Amino acid sequence: MKTKSFSTMQCSIARSLEHVGSWWSLLIVRDAMMGARRFKHFERSLGIAKNTLSSRLAQLVEVDILIKVSAKDGSAFEEYELTQRGRELAPVLIALAQWGDRWVAHDEGPETEIIDAKSGNALPLVWPRRDDGEMMPLSEVAMRNKDGSPPSSRFKAP
């Protein structure tokens, strides 16, 4: 069954889902951020069917999240690297992981934790912040059209 296209919706979230809306796509990006480069690395890590993996990798290349490059070891294999567009998904994945750690972790707690590799400390919560770094209440976050018109919708929060 063909899913609905969000490409013409006037919402950046909806249009972004056209590129990374598949759960496999986000897991492939996660693995690429963790160092996976070859088809077999993604396949082994994810336990994904070859045809599904091939399709998702091709889509991520098509939308410039990954690029195919010659293998660094000089072999005939091709590898995948994140583009700048792909690397900039890091805050999205970190926020999703933090949300999952809090709301969908197993009874024993989360199995992994996103940390600062230098200090070993957990990363602060990814959250909307003011220019000075202060966390903002959702009730003060809004969306507007790029034409500068007043906010068309405000986040609702108790």
Q: How many residues can be counted in the chain?
A: 158
Tens digits of residue pLDDT in 56-83: 999 999 999 999 999 989 898 999 999 9
- What local confidence, expressed as pLDDT, does residue 152 receive? 62
Average pLDDT of the chain is 87
pTM, to two decimals: 0.83
Ordered by start, the domain boundaries in the chain are 12-87
With tokens 């991520």, the residue in question is 60
Its sign, for the CA torsion 114, 116, 120, 122, is: negative
Q: What CATH number should be reported for the domain whose range is 12-87? A: 1.10.10.10
Per-residue DSSP letter, 104: T
Query: Given pLDDT bands bounded at 50, 70 and 90, which one contains residue 1?
Result: very low
Token pair listed for 82: 């994140």
